[in-house]
């Protein structure tokens, strides 16, 4: 079993313009003299405050990225143990997309981990998120794919959302789609948002919650 890491470790000081800006601002504040009525002192203090804010923002961003990378590592370890227990053979790919870690189990004969309509995959994803949260202390939004199921489903649902949006735009009548899980609804909402003259919303309760596409007023 192999593990492919698609996210490199981050050096907090490397290639970080905000860190350079922070250093310049501090240097300028150190070199500032005391002027009439303390104007220079206030300018130096303002520059120092700006430097601290810039450094804090850069640090927060790096911490967020590092946390997502750590989530992927924890998830990979958990899934490797699960695959061994279930006697499944698969490779694990790690990535970071936007503000979430993305983990994919790649291989053949993985249908048992997907289940009807992706139900087993959803359950394994929740278990993996719990395993991650137990170690990080932070609620995880990690996305898990198995055997390319979610990638294929994303393509299918994007087409479903686009066609529904175009039909509603042309007819002026709303259209209610079949119940979907949160991942599927998000894909449809994104597809509908790309079509002018319509919008979408979710209605109902899980597991019967669905997307409704409506014409703009």
pLDDT in tens, 122-164: 999 999 999 999 999 999 999 999 999 999 999 999 999 999 9
User: What are the structure tokens assigned to 75, written together?
Assistant: 């998830």
| Confidence check: pLDDT of 79 > 80 | yes
pLDDT tens per residue, range 15-37: 343 434 434 333 344 444 444 45
Rounded to an integer, what distance in angstroms lies between the CA atom of residue 126 and that of residue 129? 5
Residue limits of CATH 3.30.300.20 in the chain:
3-10+16-147
Residue 98: pLDDT band (50, 70, 90) is confident
Residue 65: pLDDT band (50, 70, 90) is confident
Q: Looking at residues 183-209, what average pLDDT do you find?
A: 96
Total-model pTM: 0.66
Percentage of the chain surpassing pLDDT 70?
71
| Confidence check: pLDDT of 40 > 90 | no
> Tokens 């202390």 identify what position?
137
Residue limits of CATH 3.30.1370.50 in the chain:
153-215
Rounded to an integer, what distance in angstroms lies between the CA atom of residue 174 and that of residue 36? 69
Q: What is the pLDDT of residue 126?
A: 97
CATH of domain 153-215: 3.30.1370.50
Per DSSP bridges, beta strands 175-179 and 143-146 are unpaired
Q: What is the pLDDT of residue 9?
A: 33
Rounded to an integer, what distance in angstroms lies between the CA atom of residue 188 and that of residue 161? 5
Backbone angles phi, psi at 180, to 5 degrees: -140, 160
Rounded to an integer, what distance in angstroms lies between the CA atom of residue 129 and that of residue 141? 7
Q: What's the fold here for domain 3-10+16-147?
A: GMP Synthetase; Chain A, domain 3 (3.30.300)
**Contact in structure between 123 and 165 (CB atoms under 8 Å):** no
């Amino acid at each position: 079993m192999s593990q492919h890491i698609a996210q490199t470790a981050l050096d907090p000081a490397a290639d970080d313009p905000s860190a350079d800006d922070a250093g310049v601002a501090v240097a300028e504040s150190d070199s500032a003299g005391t002027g009439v009525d303390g104007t220079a002192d206030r300018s130096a203090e303002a520059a120092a405050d700006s430097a601290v804010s810039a450094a804090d923002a850069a640090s927060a961003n790096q911490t967020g990225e590092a946390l997502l990378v750590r989530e992927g590592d924890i998830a990979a370890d958990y899934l490797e143990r699960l695959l061994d227990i279930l006697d499944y053979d698969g490779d694990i790919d790690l990535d970071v997309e936007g503000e979430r870690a993305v983990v994919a189990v790649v291989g053949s004969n993985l249908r048992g981990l997907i289940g009807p309509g992706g139900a087993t995959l959803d359950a394994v994803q929740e278990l993996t998120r719990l395993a991650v949260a137990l170690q990080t202390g932070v609620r995880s939004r990690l996305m898990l794919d198995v055997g390319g199921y979610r990638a294929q489903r994303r393509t299918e649902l994007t087409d479903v959302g686009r066609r529904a949006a175009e039909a509603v735009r042309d007819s002026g009548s709303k259209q209610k789609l079949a119940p979907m899980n949160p991942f599927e609804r998000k894909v449809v909402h994104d597809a509908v948002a790309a079509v002018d003259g319509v919008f979408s919303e979710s209605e109902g309760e899980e597991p019967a919650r669905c997307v409704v596409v409506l014409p703009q007023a």
